[in-house]
Amino acid sequence: MTHKPRPRPGTPHYMTEDRVELQAMARQFSDEVVRPIANELDPVEGQFPEELVAQMGELGFFGIMIPEEYGGLGLGVFEYCLVAEELSRNWMSVAGLLARGNGMGGGFTPAQEARLLPKVATGEYLGAYALSEAEAGSDVANIQCKAERDGDEWVINGTKMWCTYADMADYLVLFARTSVDPDPSKRHHGISCFLVEKERGKFPTGISGNPVKKIGYFGWHTWELSFDDFRLPADALLGEEDRGFYLAVSGLEVGRAHTAARSIGLAQAALDAAIDYVHVRSQFGHELADFQHLRFKIADMAARIAACRQLMYSVASDIDTGNRCDKEAAMVKYLAGEMSEYVTSQALQIHGGAGYTKDFPVERYWRDARLTKIFEGSSEIQMRIISDQLLGR
């Protein structure tokens, strides 16, 4: 950057000079670095190059929410979402990579924070979640993977699903059942959390995996993992034994705001592509931009994006100030995911047959946007949360 960006006249008060500068830096990195990598690797389902991860670490992207005392930027969820939106404008997977650093240290002891967070902030120590199972997605309380104590060790047996980046991560946050409460209303009791430190690019003895055959979200593998008498030392337990459920759900508001930001970034990219396309494509002697139906379609897309963005800013601000916003976080995740699929689909339609090819990135936005209605809690789960808050369980 050769100059410090300043807020434009009329910029909302919450977009401070520091936030404008961070947003501009993320946008420049996204356009100059992420876009060409995405255009090259997404069509062939390639994996992130190591240089990309290193560059993100140098810019401090993995430590946005890590305290300055540990080498992070010491910022909040608002800034985290600003960067996520800009990265998603070119490849949602890279915005997802942000979460392999920020927010992955929940449950670390003070000693672990001092030892590990400085490496997390630079991207040297990135994590992956081993939480979901075939029968335990949004129903986290149904976890069946077992951890049994054997002297000074834990022995893990079971399977996990949807473990994105599990192979390249330096550690896994593993949730397993250590006991069973006979009371059906307390199914969430008895789940514990473990830190599984590993070598990047490999699985340790006792863990094996198969990549999931996805239709999008490329750049990294998502795994089905099997744990077969996998052994961990007793001190690998994160937090209190049998209290892992609370650790699993403690960061949901941040995850939903982050997913909303990714949804918005995808939709903005699709809108920008559609605007460019209607100016270069002509039919019946006129640019597509001259046809009122398409003009109104683009106006509608832009309005939906702007509405979701403002709600996302509000939710991020509430999280940063400590205000309870589980209902609002569910709302923004739901609305932004639904909006993103709609807007990217409309952009593809505007491109006509060209949109249904890999010659234009709009098909990538569309494929990835479809996932935003599923992960971090499906749209149906968000509606359940919202309705329970409004009407009672």
Point out the residues that are catalytic. 376
Q: 333 with 377: CB under 8 angstroms? A: yes
The residue ranges of DSSP E strands in the chain, in sequence order, are 127-130, 146-150, 153-164, 171-177, 191-197, 207-211, 222-233, 237-238, 282-283, 286-287
Distance CA 123, CA 53 (A): 7
Distance CA 139, CA 54 (A): 35
Exposed, middle or buried by CB within 10 Å (0-12, 13-18, 19+), for 356? middle
Q: Which of 258, 268, 244, 264 is nearest to 377 (CA)?
A: 258
The DSSP bridge partners found for residue 222 are 164
Q: Which amino acid is at 160?
A: K
Distance CA 22, CA 5 (A): 9
Cα distance between the two ends of the chain: 52
Sign of CA dihedral 308, 310, 316, 318: negative
Q: Is 153 helix (H, G, I), strand (E, B) or coil?
A: strand
Number of other CB atoms surrounding residue 87 within 10 Å: 28
- HSE-up of residue 69 (Cα within 13 Å, Cβ side): 4
Q: Which of 15, 17, 14, 13 is nearest to 5 (CA)?
A: 17
DSSP string, 43-83: GGTPBPPHHHHHHHHHTTGGGTTS-GGGTS----HHHHHHH
Distance CA 78, CA 14 (A): 10
Exposed, middle or buried by CB within 10 Å (0-12, 13-18, 19+), for 229? exposed
Sign of CA dihedral 362, 364, 365, 370: positive
